[in-house]
Structure 1
């Protein structure tokens, strides 16, 4: 994204995820754009919600939600709780921004900045989710 490269928004996985996001909990949440940087959903209860099609990549989904909570807390001084939801699996997880989670978010941000500012990409490493990643064509040229 930092280089202007984006995934194919018409890919089947993206369309499926978009459909689940657009049709799940729609009567109980509202979408907000914050500072032109973050688009998040908030439940009527005030919790920030992240909806995903599958829990296959639960750690990145959780980190995404934690980033939203971190941004609200550290940048905007707004404290909120979060909910990570997988409607197709009928699974929900309450997520809180603890000191440990905030440190993990900050470490991740530093790692992202390091990669973005580097003149060369990180060492290529095959991971279990590479085969279904929408960026795989770029990595494995």
Structure 2
């Protein structure tokens, strides 16, 4: 696949399995570490019982109870809608704010471009008592579309991207595949 219009057409066709299935988590990984994205795309799964995964799951499940509903869309999006209709993404901390924001922008883009549903978003960090309104503007749309093409390029590579030491590598659940 070489273009965004092709990606949208694949996603809209109910009779065909898209060549590239891009999830919100893949968007997040793309902006955190492309090597992590590549491993995930090959079915190398992380330990769901790890402390930081459990902490994130707990914050997600216990925040804003009763004020949001969860939806799974086309096996790609796992999103929450607030009573207001806004799409909400809940994160433990704002340490990786850009990846979280891009994940939410992808949800908004997918809803609009593939399903013809326009929504705004809310990025929430309950432990920090911080919320940010997110709208899909022209700049965000360009970033999402560049991300989609970048994800496709990354996962189609025959080998993982080169090692790149980042400040959060020590906490990464894939670190044993990189720094052994």
CA distance in 2, matches of 1:26, 1:63: 24
Pair 1:20 & 2:72 matched: no
TM-score by length of 1: 0.97
- Structure 1 or 2: larger helix share? 2
2:83 maps to 44
Q: CA deviation at 1:128?
A: 1.1
Count of paired positions = 141
Select 1:9's aligned residue among 36, 44, 48.
Answer: 48
Select 2:155's aligned residue among 116, 130, 139.
Answer: 116
Deviations 1:40-75 (A, max 9, x none): 000010000000011111111111101100100111
CA distance in 1, matches of 2:149, 2:84: 32
Identify unmatched segments of 5+ residues in structure 1: none
TM-score by length of 2: 0.76
2:144 maps to 105
Identify unmatched segments of 5+ residues in structure 2: 1-39
Q: CA deviation at 1:140?
A: 1.7
3-state SS of 1:83 partner? strand
Which protein has greater RCO, CA pairs closer than 8 Å, 6+ apart? 2
3-state SS of 2:41 partner? coil
